[in-house]
Structures are given as structure tokens and as C-alpha cells.
Amino acid sequence: MNELTIQPLLEEHFFWLHRHPEQSYFEHETTAYIKHALGKANIEILNTGLKTGLVALISAARKNGALVALRADIDALPVTEESGCDYASQNNGFMHACGHDFHTAALLGAALLLKQKQAELVNDVLLVFQPAEEVSGGAESVLATGALDKANVIFGLHVAPDYPCGTVALKSGGTFAAVSAFKITIKGKGGHAAMPQLCRDPVVAAAALIMAAQTIISRTSDPLDSVVLSFTHIEAGKTWNVIPETAFVEGTIRALGTKEAQSATKKLGAFCKAIELSHEIECNFDSWLDAPATNNDVELTRYAELTAGKLGLNVTAYKPTMAGEDFALYQEKIRGLFINFGVESASALHHPAFRANYKGLSDAARLLAELAFNFKEDKNARAA
């Protein structure tokens, strides 16, 4: 099977994966399906100890090149599908609303193309089918196996619904945001709503904090930095005439630079201290960095542009997003490039009606395969 005839098989993989979405860390059936597909092609599956997901290896015949990793994520979202497609999810309450079925099918295609050329292969290629991208810990679990410790470079691909099918959208530097999450518990003194002077109202304190915190972005962050702060959950009280003891708020801070996200998060913690003093309440602030910002290597970006061009694919500049992506964790340890691939969906990622245009699967597979096949570990990372 060559790149001209691989599309029907990739569609078959895609339809099966889309019909059988599984939640993060429970991708058992998906993992078994991937193992079976790789086994039929006689591709070695490494013993990593991963409970779900896997890492496979295609060894080079010449053994004088680099170790190249290709990564796809395999988990789905807790979303009830409303796409209306005839291959819709059969797992009620879950769907591939973020294109992980496309990513996985494309990587299976790249694996087959590389296996066909194994006799000519100079680079060893790791195939990373990662679990749990949609929640914390998926990339960390793969890195913890040590399977990627000697990798020289890593490539990943994500569907882009706003771009025409088959378009390769690239940008060096930050493309996906650093994601910081926070939880704030405000403890006051409850009492009768008619007697606020006897209380320490956590609701008013929470409202003051939410409004004051907006100046973190508008007045303390560089206007040229891409930073956003969103409060997404507020909870306090149970009835209309009682001032509650506590209020709870949580949300996220995102930025195209990890340092900028960390700086804004630190400032929010300082605002909590100020609210605590001014309202005479207790304000407990907890935050964590869920994922750093992706950071695409300049030379690898140029290499991908050249490679996609040689394949006859349309290449365009990518407009960054404030969505997060744990591929960034690989990039902290391995020189890497995260590619956005057009699938022209009328609905956005994570929407119940999202539909990736699967006609681009063979092009995505060819791109991943060529990036791995032709990569040269030199200063300029030029296309072969």
C-alpha cells in the first residue's frame, strides 16, 4: 500500500475511532485497536508500562540518523455528539470533538508509510499514541516511561477547523497558550442578610476580587502580550436572606508565553491578599500550571514549510489560540514542532457538532511520514 491508496484504510480507522470514543485514562479499547493495526504491519510496540496509550518503534535500516518522535493523542471529550454524521459516537456522553480520532488515524497512516520505506530509513522513528491529553498528566505519563529520553526531535499535529481541508498552518514560537488554573475559597462570617454589619460578607469580597482582577490584564500586563484571565465558576450561599460563610470562585489564566501566565497568576494571588485585608476575611488562593505554552522551533517550522510545499500542500501562517496543549511538555525536553492541519469544520473544537473533514487524512499522514523520513539532525534542519 502506498500513499495513493492509503486513504480508504485511514477513513476506516477514522470511522472506527470516531464511533468508539473513550474518556481520558480509560482508552482501553482504543489502545487495543491501535495495537492491532500496528501488529498487522509488523511494527514493534515497546513495553513502556503505560496502562493506556502506547509507544511503538520503526527502526532504521542504516542506524546513522536521528531518533524522531511522532505524537498523536487518543482520548475523547465528555460531550454528547450532535454532528448528525453516519459514523457518530456509539459511546453515549462522549465524542471525539477535538479531532483526536483524526490525529490517531493520521499517525497510523504515517506508520504504514514509514514501514514501507524501512529499508531506506535512516532515522529511528518513535510513534507516540498518548492518552489523556484533555486532562492533566497524559504527556507526563509518556515522558515518565523514558521512551523519549533520547529523542532528538518531536513532531505533533492538531486539526484546525478554521482552515481549508489539507492546509498546513504553521508559526514559530507560541501557538497554543500556557494554561494556569486557580481556585479561590473566601471565608467570612455569615448571618442575617438584614444585618450585614454583624457579618463579613464573602459574596461582596468575591465580587470585589473578580472586578479588581480584571486590571491585572488591562493595567499590569504588557498590551502586546497575549494574556487572558477568566473567572468561570462562582458559588456562594443557598437562600435569599442569609449571608453565607464562604464563597468559591475558580477560573483560568492563559498566555502565549509561560512566564506571562505565571506572572499574571502571581498578581492574582497578591490581589487575594489585598481583598483579604480590606474585607477582613480569609482568602485561600490555590493555583497551578496545567500546561506551558507551546514553543515551535524556528528551524523546524521552516523545515515543515519546505516539506509540505514539496508534497504540494497549501501552507499558510497560523493564528495562535488561547487553548492549551500538553504537547508543550514534550517541547520543554525535546526540540519540537506542533503543526495545525486544516479540516474545515463548520463547528468549533469541543462543540457537539464538530466534524473533521477526513478527506485530508492521507495528506496529514504523508506530511508526518516525510518529516520523520527526511529529518537531518543538523543546525538548519533543512528538508532533504
C-alpha cell at 10: 485511514
Radius of gyration of the CA atoms of the chain, in A = 24
Q: Are 364 and 106 in contact (CB under 8 A)?
A: yes
Strand 336-342, strand 168-170: pairing: antiparallel
Q: Counting Cβ atoms within 10 Å, is residue 262 exposed (0-12), middle (13-18) or buried (19+)?
A: middle
Q: CA dihedral in degrees (244, 181, 141, 53; nearest 10)?
A: 90
Nearest CA to 338 out of 346, 347, 329 is that of 329
Give the per-residue pLDDT at 240: 97
134: which residues sit within 8 A by CB, 6+ positions away?
A: 24, 73, 75, 76, 77, 98
Same fold, 7-174+294-374 and 176-291: no
At residue 10, the 3 state secondary structure works out as helix
Residue with cell 511503538: 56
Cα 165 from Cα 159, distance rounded (Å): 10
Residue with cell 489502545: 31
Residue 214 falls in which region: left (phi positive, over 0), alpha (psi -120 to 50) or beta: alpha
Q: Are 285 and 184 in contact (CB under 8 A)?
A: yes
Give the per-residue pLDDT at 380: 41
| Class of the CATH domain delimited by 176-291 | alpha beta
7-174+294-374: in CATH 3.90.950.10: no
At residue 236, the 3 state secondary structure works out as strand
pTM: 0.92
Q: Where are the domains of the chain?
A: 7-174+294-374, 176-291
Cα 149 from Cα 132, distance rounded (Å): 20
Give the per-residue pLDDT at 61: 87
pLDDT in tens, the chain (384 residues): 565 689 999 999 999 999 999 999 999 999 999 999 999 999 999 999 999 999 999 999 877 799 999 999 999 999 999 999 999 999 999 999 999 999 999 999 999 999 999 999 999 999 999 999 999 899 999 999 999 999 999 999 999 999 999 999 999 999 999 999 999 999 999 999 999 999 999 999 999 999 999 999 999 999 989 999 999 999 999 999 999 999 999 999 999 999 999 999 999 999 999 999 999 999 999 999 999 999 999 999 999 999 999 999 999 999 999 999 999 999 999 999 999 999 999 999 999 999 999 999 999 999 999 999 999 986 444 344
Q: Are 243 and 203 in contact (CB under 8 A)?
A: yes
Give the per-residue pLDDT at 150: 97
Q: Are 10 and 80 in contact (CB under 8 A)?
A: no
Q: 168 forms bridges with which residues in the sheet?
A: 315, 341
Residue 368, CA distances (Å) to 55, 101, 244 in order:
16, 16, 56
